[in-house]
Every structure is written in structure tokens, then in C-alpha cells.
């Protein structure tokens, strides 16, 4: 039996000085383009370009600074490849400019806080949006995060309301993906609860995006004494495979090759897909 649709691996390309795993590595255009080429070689289905760190305690950056970081990179990648490009931003102006350069996904960690994103989807019919759940702002979101209801119910309610806002405006549900926001205003147990009950979110949007890659909760589980991205890869793959069997379809990762190999192996066992 074949799976109805293949999972998509989204390669992370942070052109920032302060992202938690790779901050500063791809700040120059040459370095960013070299990494984009590697993501392509490794089999990325999507490249997600971000110019503002959203790690816990991160400071915001100006509109001009974010544009200066991401737009040349998107333009350069598009000149070399037809790969699906995603712009990781909460700013309307950045998303609009990125779409004009060839991006077709808006990855909005604020969950649609700027309603002008609706107009971008209305004008660009190929564009999709990822609405992520985030409790608070990056600078303070990990300071004792708390939920009045259980975290799963609260995340589902908020994302359902956000998706409804877009669909009632005439945007097809298939173009509105959701992300429960692992690590964004959540404790270790919040993250585990969301992954454990991920199936309850399947019908909320047009697809589920999961990004556990190298995040702090994995280091906590593995009892790390200090950050080690490589040591978190097995936790990244394990948690994404759990999410895959629960219904997630897009996986945002630093190590594309490891994730592609894991998904290929899973599908070969489950569906005979080789």
C-alpha cells in the first residue's frame, strides 16, 4: 500500500547571528547560498529562510535589518533552483517582498497576528501559510509558561480560531497549515503532551508542521550539561517519526539528510515504498 502523500522535509536556513543552533554560520550571502545548495543535495523539499531569531530570550530586529538578511538569499536561491521557498517571518512587509521574489510559503510563528497576511494569500493563490502557536514573545515566552486549560485543548482552540479566520475570508483550508509550536512558550511536559496527542490536531488545518529540531526539551530529556546539536539529532528524528505516524506531514529540521533517510526507512517498512 502506498501512502497518499509523501512527507515534506523543510530545511532550516537561518541568516541570523543569534539563532540557538547555527547563529552566525550563514550570515554572508555566500555562506547562506552554500548551505542552501547542501540542503538541496541532501534532499530538502522546502527551504525555510529566516532573518530574525525566535529562540527564547531573543531580541527583535528592525524591518530593514530583516529584509537585508533574507531577501538577497531568497533571490539568489531562486536564480539557481525551483525549490519551494518559505519565508520565516512575522512581518507583512518581509513576507510580501519574499513572495515577489519567489517564496510560496509564509512561516508565521506569531500565528497570524498581522491580519494583512490574509491579503497576501488572496493575491497570491499559490501561497500557503503556516500558523504556529506561540505563548508570549520570544524574549519572555519561556519564563514559567502556564495554561489555564490543558495545553492540548488550549493550543487546539487557538489554532482552530486562527484557521477559521482565514477560511472565512475565502482562503482554502488546504493552504493554511498549523504548527503546535514545540518549544514556544511550553515546558518539557507541555511539549511531550502536544506530541503525545498530536492526532487531535489533524483536522484543524490543511496539514501539520512539526519542528522539534535540536530544541531544549530534547537536551533536557538527554540530560545534557551543555548544548550539543549533534547529540540532539537522534531525539529530533525520533520525535519527528512519532509525529509522522500521528499525522504530521512537514518536518522542519537542521539535518535534512538524517530526516529524509529516517522517513524513507519508515515508509519502506510501513508501506513498501522504496
**Active-site residue list:** 215, 252
Category of 133 on φ-ψ map: left (φ > 0), alpha (ψ -120 to 50) or beta: beta
List residues bridging with 131 in a β-sheet. Answer: 108, 178
What phi and psi values does residue 138 have, to the nearest 5 degrees?
Answer: -50, -35
Amino acid at each position: 500500500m502506498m501512502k497518499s502523500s509523501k512527507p515534506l522535509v523543510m530545511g532550516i536556513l537561518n541568516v541570523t547571528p543569534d539563532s540557538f543552533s547555527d547563529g552566525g554560520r550563514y550570515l554572508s550571502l555566500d555562506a547562506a547560498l552554500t548551505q542552501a545548495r547542501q540542503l538541496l543535495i541532501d534532499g530538502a523539499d522546502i527551504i525555510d529562510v529566516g532573518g530574525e531569531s525566535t529562540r527564547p530570550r531573543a531580541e527583535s530586529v528592525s524591518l530593514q535589518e530583516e529584509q537585508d538578511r533574507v531577501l538577497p538569499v531568497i533571490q539568489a536561491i531562486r536564480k539557481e533552483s525551483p525549490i519551494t521557498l518559505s519565508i520565516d517571518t512575522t512581518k507583512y512587509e518581509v513576507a510580501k517582498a519574499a513572495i515577489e521574489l519567489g517564496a510560496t510559503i509564509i512561516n508565521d510563528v506569531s500565528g497570524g497576528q498581522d491580519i494583512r497576511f490574509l491579503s497576501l494569500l488572496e493575491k497570491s493563490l499559490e501561497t500557503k501559510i503556516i500558523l504556529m502557536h506561540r505563548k508570549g514573545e520570544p524574549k519572555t515566552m519561556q519564563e514559567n509558561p502556564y495554561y489555564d486549560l490543558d495545553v492540548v485543548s488550549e493550543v487546539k482552540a487557538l489554532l482552530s480560531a486562527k484557521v477559521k479566520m482565514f477560511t472565512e475570508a475565502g482562503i482554502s483550508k488546504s493552504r493554511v497549515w498549523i504548527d503546535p509550536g514545540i518549544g514556544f512558550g511550553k515546558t518539557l511536559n507541555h511539549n511531550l503532551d502536544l506530541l503525545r496527542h498530536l492526532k487531535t490536531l489533524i483536522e484543524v488545518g490543511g496539514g501539520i508542521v512539526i519542528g522539534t529540531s535540536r530544541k531544549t526539551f530534547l537536551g533536557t530529556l538527554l540530560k545534557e550539561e551543555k548544548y550539543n546539536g549533534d547529540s540532539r539529532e537522534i531525539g529530533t528524528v525520533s520525535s519527528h517519526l512519532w509525529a509522522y505516524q500521528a499525522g504530521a506531514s512537514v518536518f522542519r529540521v537542521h539535518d535534512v539528510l538524517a530526516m529524509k533517510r529516517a522517513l524513507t526507512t519508515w515508509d519502506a517498512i510501513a508501506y513498501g515504498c522504496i
